């Protein structure tokens, strides 16, 4: 059934997105985040909005949406490394680590967009969310390249 497949894909994206939310929230609250605190808060809020949109889509399909991230997920690990870097106060290393997490979430959304089995409505939702993820990724990438 297409909706079950869609629910599986959406829940995977929700978990990755919630990992991202948590990482950005933790980073924004860290006293060493300095000039990046506002950016990290904005990105956490955007990712939270994306997670809620994906959760709503799962509910519309009759499923139960994921409501927590994947502790073992790569995005979470990247943000744990990121928190360690914040303590070291190395801004370039911090942004490089954030970009690594952004690369991961972007790749997850790209794989979902490329999934030929998604229903048209689900694909539209994923593509809309992917646009926001891509913008966040590109913003972090540009920041990293401006620091070189």
Domain with residue 62: its CATH number is: 1.20.1260.10
CB 146 within 8 A of CB 39: no
| Overall pTM > 0.95 | no
What pLDDT was estimated at residue 74?
52
Check residue 83 and give its pLDDT.
Answer: 58
**Which residues in the chain show pLDDT less than 50?**
31
Whole-number pLDDT of residue 62: 95
* Residue 133 confidence (pLDDT): 97
Give pLDDT, residue 138: 95
pLDDT reported for residue 88: 56
The domain in which residue 44 lies consists of 2-146
Q: Are 72 and 104 in contact (CB under 8 A)?
A: no
The runs of H, that is alpha helices, within 30-119 are: 37-60, 74-88, 91-114
Residue 41 CB-half CA count within 13 A? 9
Domain count, the chain: 1
Q: What is the pLDDT of residue 135?
A: 96
């Amino acid at each position: 059934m297409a909706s079950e497949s869609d629910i599986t894909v959406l829940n995977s994206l929700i978990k990755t997105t919630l990992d991202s939310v948590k990482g950005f929230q933790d980073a924004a609250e860290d006293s060493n985040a300095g000039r990046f605190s506002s950016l990290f808060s904005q990105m956490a809020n955007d990712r939270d909005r994306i997670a809620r949109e994906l959760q709503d889509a799962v509910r519309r399909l009759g499923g139960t949406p994921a409501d927590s991230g994947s502790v073992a997920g790569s995005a979470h690990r990247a943000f744990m490394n990121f928190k360690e870097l914040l303590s070291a106060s190395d801004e370039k290393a911090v942004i490089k680590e954030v970009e690594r997490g952004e690369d991961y979430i972007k790749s997850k959304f790209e794989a979902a967009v490329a999934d030929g089995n998604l229903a048209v409505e689900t694909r539209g939702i994923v593509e809309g969310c992917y646009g926001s993820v891509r913008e966040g990724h590109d913003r972090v990438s540009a920041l990293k390249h401006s620091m070189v």
